[in-house]
């Protein structure tokens, strides 16, 4: 039996953490080439973990690499800035 109350209890904490981290990230100055470094880090994580014998290491590497590459592609504003250009993106704020 799955304890759904624990998952429901963790969700607000994750949102609270994101609410604290985002303003701090937005207030700092970017440096030139920041997205290239994040892209390189994401590709490095993918490359270093893809042939690991451990399923957990491969999965964690894929998730971390995907998050870093997504961050590099979308920038600080997130994907919402890019989604606005799609036909259904007019409703995105």
What DSSP string describes 46-89?
A: HHHHTT-S-HHHHHHHHHHHHHHHHHHHH-TT-THHHHTTSTTG
Q: What is the pLDDT of residues 25-50, one digit of tens each?
A: 667 766 677 778 888 999 999 999 99
* pLDDT of residue 76 exceeding 70: no
Write down the pLDDT at residue 57: 95
Residue with more model confidence, 40 or 10: 40
Predicted confidence band at 21 (pLDDT cuts at 50, 70, 90)? confident
* Planar angle of CA 80, 22, 76, nearest 5 degrees: 45
Q: pTM for this structure?
A: 0.57
* pLDDT of residue 10 exceeding 60: no
């Amino acid at each position: 039996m799955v304890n759904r109350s624990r998952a429901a209890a963790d969700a607000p904490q994750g949102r609270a953490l994101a609410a604290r981290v985002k303003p701090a990230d937005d207030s700092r100055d970017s440096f030139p080439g920041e997205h290239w470094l994040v892209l390189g880090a994401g590709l490095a994580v993918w490359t270093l973990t893809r042939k690991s014998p451990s399923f957990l290491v491969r999965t964690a590497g894929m998730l971390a690499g995907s998050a870093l590459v997504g961050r590099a592609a979308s920038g600080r504003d997130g994907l919402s800035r890019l989604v606005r250009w799609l036909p259904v993106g007019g409703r995105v704020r």
